[in-house]
Amino acid sequence: MRTIYRYIFSFAALAFSLTAGAQALPFVAVDYNPASLGKGGATYTDVSGVAYAAFNNPAAAAFYDGKLDVSAGYTMWQPSAVKTNVINAAGTFKLGDKFALSAGFSTGKNPAYDEVDEIGNANGTFTPSQMQLGAGFSWRFMKNVSVGANVGYAKSSLAEEASYGTVVADVQAMAVFGGLRASVGVSDLGGSITSVSGAKFSLPSAAKFGVGYSLNASEKHLVDVSADAGYYFSGGVAAAFGASYTFNDMVSVRAGYRYGGNTVLPSFASVGVGVKLVGIKLDVAYVVSSSAMANTLGVSLGYAF
């Protein structure tokens, strides 16, 4: 045994203490899309950008009015707490007018810590990490209604002898009537995780609901407002509210707030900006108010047509 158990337990306690209800793999509930983070995470019904649909709402992808939306990004997640550096890439491809395929991958690393053997001698270092990959499918089976599902795999390595992984799935339905959007479904379904001590932890599975409305004030001015809510099966309710203004389909400004309550993600307020030119898009988001989430920063570069 290379690593003494108390170091495994101490790091596991750190990871789980930052998530209410001691839930496993809390990062599966995070949408690292900066366009989402900039609106407090309230993009469950967003259909204008669906690159990250494999990690958010797959049913929304069928309503995307383009052909392809891809992005790659970096997130400095909770730099004042867990200090996770996350790199991700995701994309969605429309198949005709009714179907869409999505896929995504993310990997994150935390600061390395010293390993010791059973008698306290230094035995190198270990870098905790997380990984998630997923794929989704969406079908608009009626003019105004779609369904979608994501299936993926998530893994967390807390120590050399403490790695955990499981299959994760989402099932969603969505309706769009002009500028009004609504969606409902379940997210992050999967098996429980057993720690090295034998304790079992559930995934942050939740029932999710969302509404959104887009108003075209003129050809050059678009205002979008949205609200999401989630009920976690382990207990706890969360809600997010966000708004964005886009000028000439080129420049967007965003702001939002998430109430985390007793759930896996804490409360925070955020702002964001986006720039799009000849299909190339740059999105940036920053958390301006939170405890554990303070100074979280996300940026992505993508292409859409």
Q: List per-block mean pLDDT (blocks of 10 residues) for the chain, which spans 305 residues.
A: 41 41 85 96 95 97 97 95 94 97 97 78 85 98 98 91 91 97 97 79 95 90 97 94 96 97 92 97 93 92 97
Q: Which two tokens stand for residue 49?
A: 């950008």
Burial bucket for residue 160 (CB in 10 Å: 0-12, 13-18, 19+): middle
pTM score: 0.89
- Supply φ then ψ for residue 252, to 5 degrees: -125, 145
Quick one: pLDDT at residue 130? 96
Q: Can you give the pLDDT at residue 81?
A: 83
Q: Retrieve residue 277's tokens.
A: 């030119």
Q: What is the pLDDT of residue 3?
A: 43
**pLDDT given for residue 22 in this prediction:** 67
- pLDDT in the model for residue 6: 38
Does residue 182 contact residue 174 with C-beta atoms inside 8 Å?
yes
pLDDT in the model for residue 52 = 98
Query: CB 278: neighbour CB atoms within 10 A?
Result: 7
